[in-house]
Amino acid sequence: MKKYVSVIISTCMASTLLTTVAQGAGSPKSSADFNDLSQLDAGTKAKFDAMISAGIFDGVSEGVFGLHDKMNRAQFAKAAAGIFQLKVNTSLITSSFSDVSAADPANGYALPYIEALKTAKLTDGFGAGTFNPAGEVTKEQLAAFLIRGLNKEAELKSNAGINDNTISSWAKGYAALAVQMNLLGNQMDGKFGGISPATREQLVTSSYEAKRQYVPVTTAPAIVDLPIEALTAYNLTDNTQAQVKSVTQEKSSDGWRVGVVITLTNTSGATIRIPDYDLRIQTAEGTVYTLPASASNSRSILPQGSVTLSYMTDIGVNKDVQLTNLLWVEVDQKVYPKQESPLADANISSMVWRGQDAQIEDPAHLGDWGVRFSLPGINSALKYSAVKMSKQFTGQTPTYIVEIIAENQGSYSETIPDFTLSGKSEGKSFIGKRVEEAPIHLDAGGKKSIHFAIAADTDTALEAFYVLSSESFLKQGQTAPIQYFTGRIGFRLPANEGTVTGAGVSRYDFGTPMDFTRMNDTINPNLTVSLQELHVTDNQETGNKTGIAKFTLFNKSDKPIPVPAFGAELAGKDGNAYAGTRQAVRTTDIAPGTGIVVSYGFTLPATDQSELFQLNVQEVLSNSAYKATIASYFVSIQNDNDHNNISLYPFKLNLKSWTISQLTMMGTTGFSYTYKLNLDLGMERESEVVLDNAFSKLKFELVDSLGRVLGSNSFPFTGSNRLVSGNQVLTFSNLAQDQIQSNISIKVYETITTPTGEMDRLITELK
């Protein structure tokens, strides 16, 4: 019987999706597109919106979702594939089940999803090689499938004590656990209703919760490494060996500039001087050029040590030159004619780097995004891999920010060498710089994030990043060295230029702790960061929208933690991103066991109609203008509050009643007018949150019948003249009109102070 159920359950999720891909390039659908979803409460609508926008569900016809329709096993299969992130081969036209056919007009669409379920071992069919795609799914079968898909069968409870005759005996444990996990609920009579057919409404709400709780059980992908180029050691003397680190050939104003860097190792147990030799470069035509040594080269090598030596020459030839060999030659100047003895000959034709014109032709040296690599020409246990990329703008030009993880796989501490990345695009090279300027040391087994900023042209579409080492050469008699770059390996850009959306971003539940990139330097591990509110309201005066996001920062440790200065960004459904401006914060440290509130204000265009935003929490990199995303979530904006239920975290406000009175006074210069607001305010507060002196204020704005602002006043929640729970009188004397007005209304705003000025969120209007 259990096998029979697993088959039923695993395939039921499919016909719920007439996937959003079929909708074309228009705006994604939401619950507002279906007439039979209009009466749902806001919380349920949010769940439907999430599943519809993710492409997991669509309607049964234009404008009709089919809320109370029964669902079949084909519908269930398609939804399951989306919830549990199964790999689906949409090109399949043949099924392993005899009753599943691509030609079936009702359920043929589900064939790839049914096969994906079977491949994932979530179903083996209905029996006798069939799947029964049109069969109904009961509520208990839905419960069992979700529990299995979530890998929670080990947590099933005993059937003993479950007195519910609406559940089959085999399904009682599944039903009990599904209720406990909030996947499904009981009926009004307290019964589960397990043998009744499941509806599409139950499928959507239970699927939403299952998707939220789902933790993929995956094996780590095999780590791909770029091949490490073997360095040939050339014996120059009995106790010195040379290895070629790099060879660079760049165009100059009158020909070519050639730079060579070698590593010289002392194999003896004593300090030795650098041996005398000429270093020469040979071309394919047989021409030989001598390379002068850098004035900054070492003169000696410590026992068992190594030194890096730099050489450079200019070749005044205005035609292409092919470098083939590097020669070490001992020259005896004491005899006449001088005698030359070759010490070593290295073939370097495959490692010449053409500077700005360099193009990696060998596919083995150009990996995909995330490939692990070592720096060529360096004997080191450090490994690197690119993990994240974003595009940011400084002025009108884009800058690519690439995050690379450095890992020390050796047994000793190492310092990350001076290297950078170059962006490559149709023959152009854009050399970047490392954002972290201070030296970075990695202990054995340690990991560290480093970031590179690559500025490109406005219309540039990068194809790859090349890994470049920084080299220098100091001419004799000069004080400023010549700086140049050389390389041999690279990797391609990530998919979608690194934009993380869809399945890569989870839906956020307000008030829950956020998960951050582990190696960020901004959020202390003992600090819990939660988003409490996100409001977006129209700002009619300025013709745009104002968004305010409130974060709680809670200190779980027994010591004070400095307030982190992270960034926040909202991205709407059209892809446009809006940077948040941080509230002015005067508190420097968060005391143990307490939290503070930090708000961010956003200015959005009035045309942005997004109800769901992607919130990116960002780390400011090394006091630079660049940022890196350390957490990303989809967040729904919260509905505007009415005056009886205003959420202004950590406060809950209730404007119970109010009256406006007018006062006219005769003075030496004429009449003066004052308005008084008698307000009965209810106020509740979260006790563990400490208010900063720069916390939000409530602004009350007097507006006449024509919409003109007569005056305003702001009142804080801390300090003198603060708002309190109960009756209070608020006075407005800074009036723009010199006569009494009738039909006065009051607009109530939340105001936060930022470094660029005040930002107002309209809360309610009192009339």
Contact 648, 597 (CB under 8 A): no
Amino acid found at 327:
L
Same domain, 579 and 719: no
Closest-CA residue to 258 (of 327, 349, 331, 355): 355
Is the predicted pLDDT of residue 692 greater than 60, yes or no? yes
CA 649/CA 553 separation, integer angstroms: 12
* pLDDT range class, residue 150, cuts 50, 70, 90: confident
The mean per-residue pLDDT over the stretch 752-767 comes to 84
Token pair 């796989």 in the structure block, residue: 409
Same domain, 562 and 450: no
CA 190/CA 224 separation, integer angstroms: 55
In this structure, are strands 581-582 and 589-590 parallel, antiparallel, or unpaired?
unpaired
CA 188/CA 186 separation, integer angstroms: 7
Residues 6+ apart with CB under 8 A from 229: 351, 376, 377, 488
Q: What is the pLDDT of residue 16?
A: 37
Same domain, 661 and 582: no
Q: What is the pLDDT of residue 288?
A: 95
Contact 474, 482 (CB under 8 A): yes
The mean per-residue pLDDT over the stretch 349-367 comes to 91
Q: Which stretch of DSSP H or E encloses residue 3?
A: helix 2-11
Distance spanning both ends of the chain, measured CA to CA: 65
Query: Which residue blocks in 153-232 are alpha helix, DSSP H?
Result: 172-180, 200-213
Q: How many domains does the chain have?
A: 5
As a three-state string, the secondary structure of 126-151 is: CECCECCCCCECEHHHHHHHHHHHCC
The mean per-residue pLDDT over the stretch 733-746 comes to 72
> Is 517 part of any domain?
no
Same domain, 419 and 301: no
In this structure, are strands 447-455 and 397-408 parallel, antiparallel, or unpaired?
antiparallel
Q: What is the pLDDT of residue 240?
A: 95
Contact 432, 420 (CB under 8 A): yes
3-class secondary structure, 153? helix
Token pair 């929208």 in the structure block, residue: 545
Same domain, 632 and 663: no
> Is 499 part of any domain?
no
Phi, psi (rounded to 5 degrees) for 26: -75, 180
- Region class of 121: left (phi > 0), else alpha (psi between -120 and 50), else beta: left
* pLDDT range class, residue 2, cuts 50, 70, 90: very low
> Is 747 part of any domain?
yes
CA 332/CA 335 separation, integer angstroms: 6
Higher pLDDT, 478 or 169: 478
> Is 519 part of any domain?
no
Is the predicted pLDDT of residue 24 greater than 50, yes or no? no
Same domain, 422 and 475: yes
Is the predicted pLDDT of residue 156 greater than 80, yes or no? no
Higher pLDDT, 179 or 308: 308
- Sign of the alpha-carbon torsion through 243, 248, 254, 255: positive
Contact 100, 113 (CB under 8 A): no
Same domain, 168 and 61: yes
| pLDDT (tens digit per residue) in 209-260 | 888 887 765 555 567 889 887 789 999 999 999 999 999 999 998 899 999 9
Q: What is the pLDDT of residue 641?
A: 61
Q: Where is the domain boundary, 602, 636, 670?
A: 636
In this structure, how many other beta carbons lie within 10 angstroms of the beta carbon of residue 748? 21
Q: Where is the domain boundary, 213, 244, 279?
A: 213
Q: What is the pLDDT of residue 300?
A: 95
The mean per-residue pLDDT over the stretch 610-614 comes to 87
Same domain, 174 and 243: no
CA 1/CA 679 separation, integer angstroms: 67
Q: What is the pLDDT of residue 131?
A: 86
Contact 307, 301 (CB under 8 A): yes
Is the predicted pLDDT of residue 540 greater than 50, yes or no? yes
Percent over 70 (pLDDT), the chain: 91
CA 195/CA 176 separation, integer angstroms: 14
Rg (CA), the chain: 35
Give long-range contacts, CB 8 A cutoff, 24+ apart: 576-579: 576/605, 576/608, 577/616, 578/547, 578/602, 578/603, 578/604
| pLDDT (tens digit per residue) in 391-443 | 887 777 889 999 999 999 989 999 999 999 999 988 789 999 999 988 999 99
> Is 604 part of any domain?
yes
Same domain, 195 and 261: no
| pLDDT (tens digit per residue) in 722-739 | 888 999 888 887 675 666
CA 530/CA 595 separation, integer angstroms: 10
Q: What is the pLDDT of residue 216?
A: 67
Question: What are 550's strand-pairing partners?
Answer: 533, 599
Phi, psi (rounded to 5 degrees) for 77: -65, -45
In whole angstroms, how far apart are CA 212 and each of 99, 146, 217, 503, 508? 33, 12, 15, 11, 9
Q: Which stretch of DSSP H or E encloses residue 433?
A: strand 433-434
Q: What is the pLDDT of residue 368?
A: 93
In whole angstroms, how far apart are CA 214 and each of 82, 149, 679? 11, 8, 48
Residue 492 has which token pair? 């391609």
CA 398/CA 216 separation, integer angstroms: 35
Please state the separation of Cα 743 from the chain's center in Å. Answer: 50
Q: What is the pLDDT of residue 94?
A: 87
Phi, psi (rounded to 5 degrees) for 268: -95, 180
* pLDDT range class, residue 68, cuts 50, 70, 90: confident
| Residue 263 domain boundaries | 233-353
Amino acid found at 487:
G
The mean per-residue pLDDT over the stretch 121-147 comes to 81
> Is 273 part of any domain?
yes
CA 92/CA 496 separation, integer angstroms: 26
> Is 507 part of any domain?
no
Same domain, 698 and 728: yes
In whole angstroms, how far apart are CA 462 and each of 146, 427, 459, 466, 470? 43, 10, 10, 11, 21
In this structure, how many other beta carbons lie within 10 angstroms of the beta carbon of residue 437? 10
Same domain, 157 and 81: yes
Q: What is the pLDDT of residue 509?
A: 86
Q: What is the pLDDT of residue 530?
A: 94
Same domain, 609 and 541: yes
CATH of the domain at 750: 2.60.40
Q: How many helices (H) and strands (E) does the chain have?
A: 7, 43
> Is 17 part of any domain?
no
